[in-house]
Amino acid sequence: MIELPIYTKSQLALRNGQDKPQIWVAYKGDIYDVTESRLWRNGKHYEHWAGQDLTDELPDAPHTETVFEKFVKVGRLSPA
């Protein structure tokens, strides 16, 4: 099993599609690269912004957590 790098919330926040070219989001401690998704262009997906932990926002979404299965897991979110 490959050990994924750990990123802080500050490092995740930079991958918002504005400050750096990567567009990442976190869910349940995992960080996913959504850069190639047409639904995340410019770092925004409906009322959600990239570079954030979306764990608490998923219950309001019209989809389940299985949506993350189509994206590459690039790291883990630091609990601190």
Q: Where are the domains of the chain?
A: 6-77
In 10-27, which positions are buried (b, 16+ CB within 10 angstroms) versus exposed (e)?
ebbbebbbeeeebbbbbb
Q: Are 50 and 34 in contact (CB under 8 A)?
A: yes
DSSP-derived secondary structure letter, 47: T
Q: Is 64 helix (H, G, I), strand (E, B) or coil?
A: coil
- This prediction has a pTM of 0.87
* CA angle, residues 55, 60, 66, in degrees to nearest 5: 60
Four-way CATH pick for 6-77: 3.90.1150.10, 3.50.50.60, 3.40.50.880, 3.10.120.10: 3.10.120.10
Q: What is the pLDDT along the chain (80 residues), one digit of tens a residue?
A: 679 999 999 999 999 988 888 999 999 999 999 999 888 787 777 777 899 998 987 777 667 788 889 999 999 999 87
